[in-house]
Amino acid sequence: MRSGQLAHLTGVSTDTLRHYERLGLLPLPQRTAGNYRKYPPTSQLRVELIQRALTIGFSLSELKNILAVRDRGGAPCRHVRALMHSKIRILDEQIRNLVSLRVELNRLSKDWDKRLRRTKPGQVARLLEAGPARRRARVASGLPTLRKKKGQ
């Protein structure tokens, strides 16, 4: 099948198919006499597998390694499960950080509400200046927490 047909069947663009080829996720297809890509029917299953794995949080780099093991006849299943456990731990940390951030933002919002009640209409309340001092941010996947350490 040609790239347009494979793209249509899998819901990805032809650019995405070429990207997968460049990364080694999708084997290079044969070429027709007119130099069009000619994918085997198994390519559809491969692209669908890649899309499912991306949906649940696997990176293209991780997939490249996993699929390379599979293509060599190996069984990367335990490695895949270990990666999933790692993703769950990271997600748990992100959730904790988000909950902490929500608590801090709710506290800050209440403080700002008090400040605004004391501020006359048209007068500057300087809400952002009343926010927490910038601290060295603790980052877990791009989400800083505003929680102060105990004793500070």
Domain boundary among 53, 71, 89: 71
Range 121-137 average pLDDT: 81
pLDDT of residue 52: 97
Residues in the chain, total: 152
Q: What is the DSSP string of 3-51?
A: HHHHHHHHT--HHHHHHHHHHTSSPPPEE-TTS-EE--THHHHHHHHHH
The total number of structural domains that make up the chain: 2
pLDDT of residue 131: 77
Q: What global pTM score does this model have?
A: 0.71
Q: With cut-offs at 50, 70 and 90, classify the pLDDT of residue 114.
A: very high
Per the structure, the complete domain to which residue 95 belongs is given by 77-144
Task: Please check the confidence at residue 98 and state whether its pLDDT lies above 90.
Answer: yes
Range 90-109 average pLDDT: 96
pLDDT of residue 20: 97
pLDDT of residue 53: 97
pLDDT of residue 134: 72
| Percentage of the chain modeled with pLDDT above 70 | 88
Domain boundary among 16, 49, 71: 71
Do 139 and 112 share a domain, yes or no? yes
Specify the higher pLDDT residue, 84 or 148: 84
How far apart CA 31 and CA 110 sit, in angstroms, is: 65
Which residue carries 């990666």 as its tokens? 83
Q: Is residue 15 part of a domain?
A: yes
Q: What is the pLDDT of residues 24-69, one digit of tens each?
A: 999 999 999 999 999 999 999 999 999 999 999 999 999 999 999 9
Q: Is residue 111 part of a domain?
A: yes
